[in-house]
Every structure is written in C-alpha cells, then in structure tokens.
Structure 1
Amino acid sequence: MGEVVNLNRVRKERAKAEARTAAAAKRATHGRTKAERTRAVKERTRADRLLDGSKLED
C-alpha cells in the first residue's frame, strides 16, 4: 500500500509554495532602482513602436 498523506498538510504546503513564487516575482518587479524601471519602460515603448512600424496594413 501507499504512504498515508495528510491532505490538509499537502494543500497548505502547495499554497505556501505558490505564495513564495508570487513573492519572488513581486520582489523582482518592485525591487528595482528608478533607472532600471525607466530603462524597462523605454525598451517596452521602443519595441511597441518597432512592432507598429512593421505592420503591413492597418
């Protein structure tokens, strides 16, 4: 037979793991300097302009 598993514990561990990954993503997003944020915005707008300029038809 298999191992007995406490489903409540498994559910809580899964929720904690998801919370840790979400927290890591937020730290990566919000834990940047102002220069890094402005550079990211400029790169995003440049990519959007490049994509819009490459359209064949409107």
Structure 2
Amino acid sequence: MIMTDIVNLRQARKAKARAEREAEAERNRIRHGEPTSLRRARKDGERRTEHQHEGHRLVAARVGSADGDPPS
C-alpha cells in the first residue's frame, strides 16, 4: 500500500491565497515605485550633496571683458 501525506485543504487554500496576494503586492511595489516621503528624502539628500559639491568648486578669476574675450 502506498502512503500519501494528509493535506488540510483549508490550510492549502489559505497558503495559496497568501502566496498570490504576496505576488500581487510585489508586482504593485515594482509598478508604483518608492513612496513619496522616501522619494522626497532621497531628492533632498541629492540636492544637499550637489550644493556641497558646488560649494567646493574652484573658480578661476576671470580676466578680460564681460563677454569673455581675452584682454588685448
């Protein structure tokens, strides 16, 4: 005689439904991206970093006229 595992159908249906909901949630996370609050925080951090970077830029003193022509 071959013995098989006894399966509780209610638990199997719930597990299947749970897996389907999780798969749909993952698809939605991919489709809708990151939350607005995280997106704003990331952009603020990028702006802050860019501002710091620009603040450290070395600017050569311009010599010549306002239109950028070299002095003659």
Q: Could you state the TM-score of these two structures normalised by the residue count of structure 1?
A: 0.52
Equivalent residue number for residue 13 of structure 1: 15
- The one-letter amino acid of 2:9's match is L
Q: Which has the higher contact order (CA 8 A, sep 6+)?
A: 2
Task: Count residues in correspondence.
Answer: 33
- The one-letter amino acid of 1:7's match is L
Q: CA deviation at 1:4?
A: 0.6
Equivalent residue number for residue 28 of structure 1: 30
Aligned-pair identity (%): 39
Give the 4+ runs in structure 1 shifted more than 4 A: none
Q: Distance in 2 between matches of 1:32 and 1:20?
A: 17
Higher radius of gyration, 1 or 2: 2
